[in-house]
Amino acid sequence: MKIKVISLESSISRRNSISRQFEQIETPFDFFDAVTPKDALHHIKRYDEREFFRNCGRYATETEIACYASHLALWRQCSAEGVPYLILEDDAKLASNFLTGMLVVASQIRKLGFIRISLPRIKTALLIDQVGPFDIQYCRRAPLLALGYAVAPHSAKGLTYASSVMEEPVDKFMQRFWRHGQPVYALAPPVVELAQVASDSDIGARARHEFGFRVWMLRASRKAQNSTQRQFYNLKFIGSRMKTEIRETNRIA
């Protein structure tokens, strides 16, 4: 599993922070030079401003589009190389049990496809497995934050395909498993959190816009649609898992 850290070439303090952490645990990694706003649309086929507004109540910032493009570029690389990637943003702080967590993730990622390793903790998770000191959880309602996650090549390919049009920030896109079809799993406890350098965000201001009753209704309808699709996906997932467990029980018996 390759470790990739998304970072702007100009973010010297952040690069120094994450480099020191990996030096301390003697673990190799590579910086991925983050896509800049002027190059973002070379990576993203289309940004749908109207859909983004419906999903978020505001328009995307240039740096938000560039952030999406950076993750998308790494998904393409991961899929092309056929090797799982651990993707971190450069404002990550590695926990003391990071290396142990990475061993667990490396053993599970090809089977599960996508595993979050960062905060926040998942309150609506379903326990899937226990590996050493860690729980593997299925996120029935995945949180936001794209700080740290592992992705397998086949899942990276699926995420890339589903990203033909940008309709929300990248963390919200990954959260919506019913859209891209990849179940979201999480490592608990998480082994990455936000570092102090994260207080200076590269994304910039994301002020909401005022909108009338018609747009409010459209957004309310979209939220209801997402909620319904999420619940159906969860029911399908849980049903499939129950059938698998019954088959395993019958086989053992």
Asked whether the predicted pLDDT for residue 75 surpasses 60, the reply is: yes
Give the per-residue pLDDT at 100. Answer: 96
Beta bridge partners of 105: none
**Distance (Å, rounded) from C-alpha 5 to C-alpha 86?**
8
**Pick from 162, 165, 120, 126: which is nearest to 144 by CA?**
120
Rg (CA), the chain: 19
- Asked whether the bond before 120 is cis by omega within 30 degrees of 0, the reply is yes
Band of pLDDT at residue 237, cut at 50, 70 and 90:
confident
- Provide mean pLDDT across the span 77-101: 96
Asked whether the predicted pLDDT for residue 203 surpasses 60, the reply is: no
Judged by average pLDDT, the poorest of 133-137, 179-183, 244-248 is 244-248
Contacts with 126 (C-beta within 8 Å, 6 or more apart), sequence order: 137, 138, 140, 238
Q: What DSSP state is assigned to residue 118?
A: B
Give the per-residue pLDDT at 71. Answer: 96
Query: How long, in residues, is the chain?
Result: 253
Question: What pTM does this model have?
Answer: 0.86
Domains of the chain (ranges; CATH) run 2-252 (3.90.550)
Give the per-residue pLDDT at 83. Answer: 97
- Provide mean pLDDT across the span 116-121: 78
Asked whether the predicted pLDDT for residue 121 surpasses 80, the reply is: no
User: Of residues 204 and 71, which shows the higher confidence score?
Assistant: 71
Question: 181 and 162 in contact (C-beta within 8 Å)?
Answer: yes
Per-residue pLDDT tens digits for 23-65: 999 999 999 999 998 888 888 888 998 888 888 888 899 999 9
**Distance (Å, rounded) from C-alpha 244 to C-alpha 148?**
30
